[in-house]
Amino acid sequence: MAQVKERPKPFLVSDYCKGCGRCVSVCVKGCIAFADEINPTTGVVPIVLDLEKCTGCGLCIDACPEPYGLRALEAGEEFELQDPAKLFGDKLREVTKPVDIPAEKVALPKTGPLVIKGNYASAIGAILAGCRHVFGYPITPSTEGAELMAKLQPKLGGVFLQAVSEVATVNHMYGTGGAGLPTMTFTSSPGFSLMLEGVSYMIGAEVPGVFVNIMRGGPGLGNIAPEQADVKLACHGLGHGHTHAITLMPSTPQEMLDLTILAFELTFKYRSPVLVMADGYLGQMTGKVQLPDHMIKPGIPSWAVYGDRDHRGNLISSIQLQESDLEVFNRYLQTKYESMKVEARSETFLTDDSEILLVACNTPARAAKGAVQNLRDHGIKAGLFRPITIWPFPVDQLKALLPKTKRLVVVEANAGGQIENELRLALSLAGVEKLPPITSVRRFGGLLPQQTEVVDHVMSICGK
Ligand code: SF4
Ligand code: SF4
């Protein structure tokens, strides 16, 4: 009678087990279970085998994705444990020092102006800045940004990935930015809130990335109409730890393009995330947009974890386990934030002789500008100060206007006076003790301050 050869049973060196559990779920005989303890060598919980009922079916061996994981061991066969570090050949020990490969300007032919929505203008700006890795999802009122990227990026050899969540989005950006590549997302207020932990990690790891936040009404899901209620998040709430990010506040579709391009320049200059924050109305607003005369072909920074031989010695991380190291790193970050203050930008309108100074950003700045002209028709010397960066706040530019300012009027689309708070804080930190009286025109919930409301308010405080 022919002897039935016993089928080999599985064998495992637990140091090679990644604890994925696939073998546990395929074994119908219940021979495989997770161990009770973590393997101190690998830091994961491996499986343990109890082969009394094992039929040698081999399903677990087929299921194991590890090349040196579960294997068939013939009866009596010896297994020689290899050095795991040598499993795939000798490691390359020689590490070359990477050098900066600078970005290049590529000339563009002159074109006529486009008439496009603010969201499209921002997307085109990102493409011209060399961004070929976009992560996100549709979220009103920013959706057109993701929509255009989904259409164009594959044609440009780029990637648009509809991420499963905001947390996934920001971590895709962490990986891509860490590789030294320009990356971005389009989002809106509730989505931006969910990304903040990742923004903190990016700041801690000094990873570039551009976040375009088209703000909408809140709190919670709120609605899909415009607001400016994320100023506090941008200036004081970027996740945990000591965080700041340059925050640009466009007020025209042209600026949606220009400031998105600038955001990519700054995010690499400082190795830190940069925010472009517009209200929902601006994202949807159509306007004339002139393209620049060049686009950017990105380089590869020397610090990037780019994935080639030259960059294999690089490491990106935000962990500093030694308390003294973390303090030193945070002192360095504070110095970096201080150096970002030269990026403070603003625009003025009719401020040469203004006594009533309106302060506004984004779409409310457009209403305020109209109000300035209207007030001048009534003989009131009004002017507009428009912060283009809300962080850093353009305090020096504002300070220069204060000596002749009799009243400040902050026009904004949020309930708590978030822009006014930034203004007051910046002036206080700059040592300005005597302020002119400050009043405000605020609308919120998806409603923007109207030109007539601003005019009426200024007329009333002027006693007219
Ligand atoms: S060989 Fe088959 S019976 Fe044996 S442990 Fe693997 S899956 Fe279970
Ligand atoms: S399938 Fe392989 S790696 Fe996964 S738990 Fe089982 S032995 Fe470990």
Distance from residue 22's CA to the centre of ligand 2 (Å): 6
**Distance of alpha carbon 364 from its chain centroid, rounded?**
25
- Per-residue confidence of the chain (464 residues) as pLDDT tens digits? 556 677 889 999 888 899 999 999 999 999 999 999 999 888 899 999 999 999 999 999 999 998 889 988 776 666 666 665 665 555 555 567 899 999 999 999 999 999 999 999 999 999 999 999 999 999 999 999 999 999 999 999 999 999 999 999 999 999 999 999 999 999 999 999 999 999 999 999 999 999 999 999 999 999 999 999 999 999 999 999 999 999 999 999 999 999 999 999 999 999 999 999 999 999 999 999 999 999 999 999 999 999 888 888 899 999 999 999 999 999 999 999 999 999 999 999 999 999 999 999 999 999 999 999 999 999 999 999 999 999 999 999 999 999 999 999 999 999 999 999 999 999 999 999 999 999 999 999 999 999 999 999 999 999 88
Q: SS3 of 2, please?
A: coil
Supply the pLDDT for residue 54: 93
Distance from residue 152's CA to the centre of ligand 1 (Å): 50
Supply the pLDDT for residue 90: 59
Give domain limits for the chain. Answer: 9-84, 104-343, 346-461
Supply the pLDDT for residue 158: 97
Quote the CA–CA distance of 240 and 238 in Å, as a whole number: 7
Residue 56 CB less than 6 A away from ligand 1: yes
Let me know if the fold of 104-343 is the same as that of 346-461.
Answer: yes
Distance from residue 35's CA to the centre of ligand 1 (Å): 17
Nearest to 154 by CA among 143, 162, 144: 162
If you take atom 8 of ligand 1, which residue's CA is the nearest one?
Answer: 27
Supply the pLDDT for residue 95: 60
The CA–CA distances, whole Å, from 157 to 101, 149, 179, 199 equal 20, 12, 17, 27
Residue 184 CB less than 6 A away from ligand 2: no
- Nearest ligand to the CA of 64 is 2
CATH number for the 346-461 domain, one of 3.40.50.1970, 3.40.50.920, 3.20.20.70, 3.40.50.2300? Answer: 3.40.50.920
Residue 54 CB less than 6 A away from ligand 1: yes
Question: By CB neighbour count within 10 A (0-12 exposed, 13-18 middle, 19+ buried), where does 272 fall?
Answer: buried
Radius of gyration, CA atoms only, the chain: 29
Token pair recorded at residue 226 = 């415009």
Distance from residue 10's CA to the centre of ligand 1 (Å): 7
Quote the CA–CA distance of 286 and 260 in Å, as a whole number: 17
Q: May I ask the CATH class of domain 104-343?
A: alpha beta
The CA–CA distances, whole Å, from 418 to 190, 344, 349 equal 17, 18, 22
Cβ atoms of residues 129 and 265 within 8 Å: yes
Supply the pLDDT for residue 13: 87
The pTM (predicted TM-score) of the whole model is 0.80
Supply the pLDDT for residue 3: 62
CATH code linked to domain 9-84: 3.30.70.20
**419 backbone dihedrals φ, ψ, rounded to 5°:** -75, -40
Supply the pLDDT for residue 72: 87
